[in-house]
Structure 1
Amino acid sequence: MPSDKHRLEPRRRPAQVRAELTRGRILAAAAHIFAEYGYAAGTTNRIAERARVSIGSLYQYFPNKDAILLELLLQHIDDGDTGDPLALAGLEDTVRAIVRRAIDNHRADPQLLRIMIVEAPRSPDLVEKVLRYEEARVAQIRAFLARHPQVKVGDVDAAARLVVSTVELVTHKMMATPEDLSPQRYENELVAMLTRYLSGGGGDDDGRR
């Protein structure tokens, strides 16, 4: 029986434009199918039909629908890494840029996001990618906090981790299970909360090094 790692790995990495387009069609079709039918009923047959490829062609690229869902989740993580939003001067403006980027990255299809977060297989590949992404974000925000004159928290390393985890977790929950709070109201309140924390946090300056 194949290991989980090989069971979830794409079978074919396209080397030609045509093959890359086919793979992209399969992933786009899967996103629609999972959002429309849910994961359990989002079969590879339905995905192949929506992508206008044979089921045999689909299996040339992905061994099963778990591998397809994992690839969609990895794409979602990569889409969130869009460069440095921390070049703005004001603390509130920078916090807003961080929050807005997270919202924009999650708002395209909340139903698909919920399926990816709740039902995606937790492979070592995925865990490693998520950890790398989070560590890069923490390092980026820590460097910003350490040099910004409006930041008053004593432990910038802890503050950077709190900012990253708060924005990611709350954004995931809000966009995957939307309630009465609109994205704009959510953005305003989260920005206000984080800005107050960063500009008025207690403690000494030992963490700022």
Structure 2
Amino acid sequence: MTSGRRAIAPRKQPRQVRAELTRQRILDAAAHIFEEYGYAAGTTNRIAERARVSIGSLYQYYPNKDAILVELVTRHLEAGEASVARYLAEGLPPSLEDTLRVFVRAAIENHVDDPRLLRIMAEEAPRSPELLAKVNDYEAERFRYTQELFENHPEVRVADTEAAARLAVTTVELVVHKVCSAPDPLGTRRLEDELVAMLHRYLTGPG
């Protein structure tokens, strides 16, 4: 360690299929352990036992559980990007309401599983410079794309499309995360319908 910071970068980048499968088993096991026991009690020993690997093998891939959690957060972000990309590959629908539904649905799909793990990732993930940079880049790209979408969509009537893009992206992310991770979450269809309606009214109201 340097400067008192715990190492959180993965130690070993798998180059063979077997090694990648081992790392995936560790990540899957960690997700279940963190969800079942919480982060404080989700020890590397428990993770290794659930993954059916020795503790030494686990440490070949990750120096500590902080590094494992950061990897889970990173993969969560990448899954969100992939989900949106799948919808964009099919082309956006012409109506603003249906376009908003595409992005809201993609966000819900990326949050609907493992709600306790989502809370742990949001509240307890180490805020490393590398992770913060990844999150900031991810958000900046979404803001840019959404602003461009609003500027060119004939149904959008808000004057400040930059502010509207930031508000829309942040609202979807925070609301979906909060509602999906609540002890008594709304059904996904109710959440989707109400969030789409709220954003649509805001974007199409008097300018």
Q: Please give the range of the TM-score, normalised by the shorter of the 2 chains.
A: over 0.9
Superposed CA offset, 1:9-54 (max 9, x none): 1101111111111111100110111111111111101100111110
Q: 1:63 to 1:90 in 2, by over 3 A?
A: same
**Is the counterpart of residue 87 in structure 1 residue 92 in structure 2?**
yes
Superposed CA offset, 1:38-95 (max 9, x none): 1111110110011111000000000000100110011001110021646211100011
TM-score with structure 2 length normalisation? 0.93
- What runs of 5+ residues in structure 1 fail to find an aligned partner? 203-209
Q: 1:87 to 1:3 in 2, by over 3 A?
A: farther
- Provide the secondary structure at the position in 2 that maps to 1:41: coil
TM-score with structure 1 length normalisation? 0.92
C-alpha contact 1:80 1:102 (8 A) present in aligned 2: yes
Letter in 1 for 2:111: H
Partners in 1 of 2:6 and 2:119 — Cα distance?
25
User: Matched residues, percent identical?
Assistant: 60
Give the match for residue 67 of structure 1: 67
- Provide the secondary structure at the position in 1 that maps to 2:38: helix
Partners in 2 of 1:88 and 1:2 — Cα distance?
51
**Is the counterpart of residue 114 in structure 1 residue 119 in structure 2?**
yes
What displacement does 1:143 show? 1.3
Give the match for residue 44 of structure 1: 44
Give the match for residue 189 of structure 2: 184
What displacement does 1:6 show? 6.4
Letter in 1 for 2:129: P
Give the match for residue 156 of structure 2: 151
Give the match for residue 15 of structure 2: 15
Root-mean-square deviation (CA), in Å? 1.5
**Is the counterpart of residue 175 in structure 1 residue 191 in structure 2?**
no
What displacement does 1:180 show? 5.3
Equivalent of 2:145, from 124, 140, 149? Answer: 140
- Provide the secondary structure at the position in 1 that maps to 2:40: helix
Partners in 1 of 2:206 and 2:115 — Cα distance?
33
- What runs of 5+ residues in structure 2 fail to find an aligned partner? none
Partners in 2 of 1:7 and 1:32 — Cα distance?
23
Give the match for residue 96 of structure 1: 101
What displacement does 1:2 show? 2.9
Equivalent of 1:127, from 112, 120, 132? Answer: 132
